[in-house]
Homo-oligomer: A and B are copies of this chain.
Amino acid sequence: MLRGDITAAIRNAVMNELAEVGYGRLSIEAVARRAGVGKTAIYRRWSNKLEMVLEIVSAVAERSVPMPDTGSFAGDLQLLMFIVSKALQHQIASQIIPDLMAEAARNPKIAETLQRALRTHQQAVGEKIVGQAVERGELPAGTNADLAVDLMLGPLYWRLAVSRTPIDDDYLENLSTAVLGALREPRPAH
């Protein structure tokens, strides 16, 4: 196998082992076996299990939340929500995310790494999508990008990863309309 292929095989094996047995019971041996590589191939890349899992999961999470630029804020919002909802409904994500959240509750190093990755990425997505919308005159200058991303991701996460209520085609459309309404110039109460 080529160097890049080996890395890809290991990444794949880690994601599948995480989904099947969870972080606590994941072993370097089982990852090596599943990837069809020797343990040394793994230890050449990462010094331990924690480092390996955090690097691989962060990279996958980053790839799965895109930086849309469709030409309109409504379009960016819909695309972001569509992709995030697909990712959250993927069976691998729905096993791995809760497991790592539980590990994070007990392991400050995991917590810090995951939360830093989430915050950094959330900030980048928010600044890009909201920044573009402000430039286009679709959102008022000074729109809180951080709050905007909480509104885009929070309801989907709550619904798909926590209460696990299925969504239909209308749901994403209603949600993005609501988020658009939330972020436009505030109107006085009636």
Binding site for B on A (CB under 8 A): 22, 74, 94-95, 98-99, 101-106, 111, 115, 118-119, 122, 144, 146-147, 150-151, 153-159, 161-165, 171, 174-175, 177-184, 186-187, 189
With A122-B163, A153-B158, A189-B74 already in contact, the answer to whether A102 and B22 are too (CB < 8 A) is yes
Interface residue from B95, B99, B156 paired with A154 (Cβ < 8 Å): B156
A153 neighbours in B (Cβ, 8 Å): 154, 158
A163 to B156, CA, bound (A): 14
Interface residue from B103, B161, B163, B179 paired with A182 (Cβ < 8 Å): B179
A175 to B151, CA, bound (A): 8
B178 touches A147 (CB 8 A): yes
B105 touches A162 (CB 8 A): no
19 interchain pairs, CB-CB under 8 A: A22-B102, A74-B189, A94-B105, A95-B106, A98-B104, A98-B105, A101-B102, A101-B162, A111-B164, A115-B165, A119-B163, A144-B174, A147-B174, A147-B178, A151-B175, A151-B178, A154-B157, A179-B182, A180-B189
B163 touches A118 (CB 8 A): yes
